Amino acid sequence: MSKTENNLMEKIVSLCKRRGFVYPGSEIYGGLRGTWDYGPLGSELKFNIKQEWWKTVVKDREDVVGVSASIIMNPKVWEASGHTASFTDPLVECKICHQRFRADQEDVIKEHEKEHSKRKEKVAWTEAKKFNLLVEVKLGVVEGEKNTTYLRGEITPGVHVNFKNILNSSHLKIPFGVAQIGKAFRNEITPGNFTYRSIEFEQMELQYYVRPDKKESMKQYDYWKELRMDWYKNLGIKKSNLRFREHAKDELAHYAQAAWDIEYNTPFGWKECEGIHHRGDWDLSRHQKYSGEDMSYFDAETKEKFIPWVIETSGGVDRAMLFFLIDAYHEEDERVVLKLHPKLAPYKAAVFPLLANKPKLVEKARKIYQELKKDFEIAWDDRGNIGKRYFSQDEIGTPFCITVDFETLEDNAVTVRNRDTTKQERVKIDDLIRYFSDKLS
Ligand code: GAP
């Protein structure tokens, strides 16, 4: 990573902490590597990302429903899904300092070798061995008799084990999808790059069930691949910072027949943001085998019975948020501005009285604030001067600032300032809701 790029990440991490987007996990106890807490603005941004995903993938469609499954599941689920045997990363240990690394992360390995070489030491590595990423939990009230299970390593099995329940309690016909958003946990060997690789993170996933037909399944695969890429672009990520990358055969996860990643051009290289996987019949046939339950689909029209194939789109909420932040970060004319898409911005507008010591201005501004707050996320600020308030809102990505000045008391209009252009216009108070509804839609 070059110095400037390194610098950019440092600036983003610092902004995130200072303005309440992301804090290091358990910080007052010295932290816990690979864990992060989302502050007031980070929670809003994350919520907005999830809401936009849910809207595109579930609400706006007729063929997708949602579920919210348990994080902790019967350990047999993880045997069936192949995770106890195959959910592994290659681990190597430095024979000098005994630090452990992922053997396939060449940049991290090289960096470590460089550190030792500065002390005239030449690193020798242990043979790579398979390290299982599942995080174990012990359940039960009797010491010594506790059952071992796992925090889910991916949110996927919660959907597939409910395949029959969902079919029996809905009117879905193939092809159809089941969406879920939730936490997953991985014992990552080398968490890092801020929230990019954490041990606890959120996923937003779609499992789309299709007929077991090569041509039909590939049609759906291509469709979802494009649709997911467009979602990032439509929410403002620069096209030049996004690309597809196909997984090589030896890179494929144990469940995947084909996989393409949507990658983002981060300051630390092109990195995976979301995976689109052709899972074939892996999930349902394995759960059928291990549970003994019939997991097939019966087509009442054609009288065919079959195990559907699955096209999966699996994105990380934390990664998406990090990439939206990196992409939105701009420094211009002495200001730092987060040019977040208005749909994602934690606050849609901020309301200021021009002077905090003029009760009439404050009263009018409070009224506007209370009124707009019913429909939008709105910030209030009456500290310092207007210039500072603008800069403060720019830095957290608030698209509009509304100032109540002395003229407002005469003409019932306010000054609305646009974050990106810094242009200002007068808008009638009565028109504000319509104005923002138009701008934010
Ligand atoms: N169900 C498929 C699945 O879990 P994956 O490629 O392992 O596929 C999907 O993960 C997405 O989850 C990734 O593209 C990434 O956005 C996110 N993700 C995976 N591991 C992560 C980690 N350690 N920290 C943050 N996000 C992670």
Average pLDDT along the chain: 96
For residue 313, the CA-to-ligand 1 centroid distance in Å is: 11
Nearest CA to ligand 1 atom 12: 316
Give the whole-angstrom CA distance, residue 389 versus residue 374.
23
Query: Does the CB atom of residue 201 touch ligand 1 within 6 A?
Result: yes
Which residues, 6 or more positions from 411, have their beta carbon under 8 angstroms from its beta carbon?
A: 426
| Partner residues linked to 24 by β-bridges | 36
Q: Alpha helices, DSSP H only, in 374-431? A: 386-396, 406-411
Give the whole-angstrom CA distance, residue 47 versus residue 160.
25
| pLDDT score recorded for residue 441 | 78
pLDDT band at 293 (very low <50, low <70, confident <90, very high): very high
Does the pLDDT of residue 283 top 70, yes or no? yes
For residue 147, the CA-to-ligand 1 centroid distance in Å is: 27
- Tens digits of residue pLDDT in 184-198: 999 999 999 999 999
- Tens digits of residue pLDDT in 160-177: 999 999 999 999 999 999
- Ligand 1 atom with the smallest distance to the CA of 319 is 16
Query: Does the CB atom of residue 200 touch ligand 1 within 6 A?
Result: no
Query: Does the CB atom of residue 419 touch ligand 1 within 6 A?
Result: no
Nearest CA to ligand 1 atom 21: 197
Query: Does the CB atom of residue 274 touch ligand 1 within 6 A?
Result: yes
- Tens digits of residue pLDDT in 344-396: 999 999 999 999 999 999 999 999 999 999 999 999 999 999 999 999 999 99
Where b means 16+ CB within 10 Å and e means fewer, 355-365 reads beebeebbebb
Query: Does the CB atom of residue 283 touch ligand 1 within 6 A?
Result: no
| pLDDT score recorded for residue 107 | 87
For residue 203, the CA-to-ligand 1 centroid distance in Å is: 7
- With tokens 């749909």, the residue in question is 343
Nearest CA to ligand 1 atom 17: 316
Query: Does the CB atom of residue 318 touch ligand 1 within 6 A?
Result: yes
Residue type, 117: S
Does the pLDDT of residue 30 top 70, yes or no? yes
Does the pLDDT of residue 2 top 70, yes or no? no
Q: What is the mean pLDDT of residues 252-266?
A: 93
Give yes or no for a contact between 109 and 116, defined as CB atoms under 8 angstroms apart: no
- Ligand 1 atom with the smallest distance to the CA of 316 is 16
For residue 316, the CA-to-ligand 1 centroid distance in Å is: 6
Q: In this structure, what token pair is assigned to residue 403?
A: 């100032």
pLDDT band at 3 (very low <50, low <70, confident <90, very high): low
- Tens digits of residue pLDDT in 317-335: 999 999 999 999 999 989 9
For residue 390, the CA-to-ligand 1 centroid distance in Å is: 37
Query: Does the CB atom of residue 272 touch ligand 1 within 6 A?
Result: yes
Q: What is the mean pLDDT of residues 16-31?
A: 98
Q: What is the mean pLDDT of residues 274-282?
A: 97
| pLDDT score recorded for residue 224 | 98
Give the whole-angstrom CA distance, residue 245 versus residue 105.
17
Tell me the three state secondary structure of residue 312.
strand
- Bridging pattern class, strands 304-306 and 309-316: unpaired
Query: Does the CB atom of residue 351 touch ligand 1 within 6 A?
Result: no
| pLDDT score recorded for residue 5 | 62
CA dihedral 335, 341, 347, 351 (to 10 degrees): 60
- Tens digits of residue pLDDT in 94-150: 999 999 999 998 888 999 999 999 999 999 999 999 999 999 999 998 888 889 999
